[in-house]
Amino acid sequence: MSEVKENYIVQGTSGRIGKLVVYKIINGKTFMTKYPDRSQVNYTKEQIEFRKIFAEAAKFASEIVNDPVKKSTYPRQGRKSIYHCALSDFMTEYKRKKAEDRLQIPIN
């Protein structure tokens, strides 16, 4: 990781450029790192399941934001965006349903 010195073009920039480099801001200073290679990562079953659930939540939130009628009537929570409120609501509802399913399992 290298700190970007007095370069006014990228100073204060964050994000990636293609799949070559990533600019990060750490403690107010801009750093440049190589793009991370995550091709060798083996995810656990729980991580894979959570990624699928989160993808469903993101799809739900996007549908709310892209529909003007739903967006105008969706309740906001404080300063959160509509998208983040919908994400939070989806995940809360999923957790509640999961807890209900555990309670309804018959014990032999």
Read off the tokens for 40.
Answer: 């060798």
Q: Are 31 and 4 contacting, i.e. CB atoms less than 8 angstroms apart?
A: yes
- The structure's pTM equals 0.65
Query: What is the pLDDT, as a whole number, of residue 67?
Result: 92
> CA distances (Å), 6 to each of 12, 25, 31, 77, in order?
10, 14, 12, 40
Mean pLDDT of the residues in the chain = 87
pLDDT tens, residue by residue, 34-66: 999 989 999 999 999 999 999 999 999 999 999
Binning pLDDT at 50, 70 and 90, where does residue 9 land? confident
Q: Where are the chain's structural domains?
A: 2-34, 45-102
